[in-house]
Amino acid sequence: MNDVIIIGGSFAGLAAALQLGRARRKVIVLDTGLPRNRFAGHSHGLLGHDHKPPLDILAEARQQLARYPTIRLVHARADSVAGAIDQFSVTTGDGQGLEARRLILSYGVADQMPDIPGFADNWGASIVPCPYCDGFEVAGQHWGLVWSGPQSHNYVRLYHDWTDRLTVFADGHDIAPDIRADLERRAIPVVEGRVTGIARHGDHHATVKLDAGPDVAVDMLFAHPRNKPSASLHESLGLATVNTPFGIALQVDERRETSMPGIYAAGDLANPLMASVTAAIAQGATAGISAQQSMLV
Ligand SMILES: Cc1cc2nc3c(=O)[nH]c(=O)nc-3n(C[C@H](O)[C@H](O)[C@H](O)COP(=O)(O)OP(=O)(O)OC[C@H]3O[C@@H](n4cnc5c(N)ncnc54)[C@H](O)[C@@H]3O)c2cc1C
């Protein structure tokens, strides 16, 4: 019997495995190799690894985990999960059955690309979600924000720390009069109409095509498509979730235990607020340590 099966072996899952391996616990990490930021050329903001390609950071982490004889990294998809604390079973996509006393879910979320030509192709290059990740490199330049609802108003204030050249694309949203008044006070233009296409020139520089009116060029476009968990295992387990403006997240306590005893969750899958590599690693480490301490005799 394994001590822990970790489902999702990216930043959160590998951080959990590291703590468990150092505590000499028997761990299997299942991973399909599709981290959320794989579209980005560089990852920013992780101390000691700033401005490195995300896949290089993960490859280095996997190499370091090879020191620990009780950690097994397996390239496989977890297809189904059953059981209860001390006796969970996981079936992989290739039909393998695995058992463990604890589970850590760290399978992340997938951003749902809108059906706009050029959007998916430019995601992570000229269209990005987060100024902490990609703002510094384009500070002071002309940014665009695709409105996704009232929560977009918060981004307007936030972005001001990076640039005072912002254009809002309403993208068919009814922006409330008080928010419009605030945008006007800040001299932020609002471009009406729906976004119908995005073209990239050079490294970033997006040209936004609209159903009414001329194209508008910006140096970087910020957008926040809805996301959804990358797997539905939590649904079959009936785990409690919380709603966020962008999707759902698993509900966890301060030790990162979900609503079901013995199942922990970490990373974007259970982070309703500020998704980042740093947060995923911290939460993964906490989940790993919590799972280990829950098995002490
Ligand atoms: C374009 C973009 C740029 C970003 N840039 C930055 C940045 O510069 N700095 C920063 O801090 N954050 C950045 N982020 C956020 C960052 O990508 C996430 O916060 C981080 O990847 C979360 O790590 P995670 O381990 O929770 O999930 P992920 O990294 O998404 O990993 C989940 C893993 O689970 C695997 N998986 C999924 N389903 C299964 C299954 N059923 N069985 C087995 N494995 C499965 C996936 O293949 C994947 O490897 C960016 C995000 C985007 C979209």
Return the HEC string of the chain: CEEEEEECCCHHHHHHHHHHHHCCCCEEEEECCCCHHHHCCCECCCCCCCCECHHHHHHHHHHHHCCCCCEEEEECCEEEEEEECCEEEEEECCCCEEEEEEEEECCCEEECCCCCCCHHHHECCCEECCHHHHCHHHCCCCEEEECCCCCHHHHHHHHCCCCCCEEEECCCCCCCHHHHHHHHHCCCCEECCCEEEEEECCCCCEEEEECCCCCEEECEEECCCCEEECCCHHHHHCCCEEEECCEEEECCCCCCECCCCCEEECHHHHCCCCCCHHHHHHHHHHHHHHHHHCCCC
What is the CB < 6 Å shell around ligand 1? 7-8, 10-13, 30-37, 39-40, 43-46, 77-78, 106-108, 111, 124, 128-130, 133, 230-231, 267-269, 275-278, 280
Claim to verify: residue 7 and residue 139 sit in the same structural domain: no
Claim to verify: residue 184 and residue 247 sit in the same structural domain: no
pLDDT at position 272, please?
80
Claim to verify: residue 128 and residue 92 sit in the same structural domain: no
Claim to verify: residue 14 and residue 96 sit in the same structural domain: yes
- Sign of torsion over alpha carbons 19, 63, 281, 88: negative
Claim to verify: residue 93 and residue 6 sit in the same structural domain: yes
Domain membership of residue 55 as a residue range: 2-111+226-294
Taking only the tens place, the pLDDT of each residue in 235-258 is: 999 999 999 988 999 999 999 999
Claim to verify: residue 213 and residue 245 sit in the same structural domain: no
Query: Which atom belonging to ligand 1 lies closest to the Cα atom of 37?
Result: 17
Ligand 1 pocket, mutate which of 5, 27, 36, 136 (most atoms under 8 A from CB): 36
Among residues 198, 222, 246, the one where a domain terminates is 222
Claim to verify: residue 74 and residue 28 sit in the same structural domain: yes
pLDDT at position 202, please?
67
Claim to verify: residue 205 and residue 252 sit in the same structural domain: no
Ligand 1 pocket, mutate which of 72, 123, 133 (most atoms under 8 A from CB): 133
Closest-CA residue, ligand 1 atom 53, reads: 37
* Residue of 243, 234, 271 whose CA lies nearest to 256: 271
Claim to verify: residue 203 and residue 231 sit in the same structural domain: no
Claim to verify: residue 95 and residue 238 sit in the same structural domain: yes
Among residues 197, 222, 247, the one where a domain terminates is 222
Claim to verify: residue 10 and residue 95 sit in the same structural domain: yes
* Residue of 287, 285, 229 whose CA lies nearest to 253: 287
Domain count, the chain: 2
Looking up residue 186, the CATH number of its domain turns out to be 3.50.50.60
Enumerate residues 6+ apart whose C-beta is below 8 A from 89.
81, 82, 83, 97, 98, 99
Among residues 222, 255, 279, the one where a domain terminates is 222
Claim to verify: residue 133 and residue 106 sit in the same structural domain: no
Query: Which atom belonging to ligand 1 lies closest to the Cα atom of 134?
Result: 8
**Distance of CA 10 from the midpoint of ligand 1 (Å):** 7
Which ranges of the chain have pLDDT less than 50? none
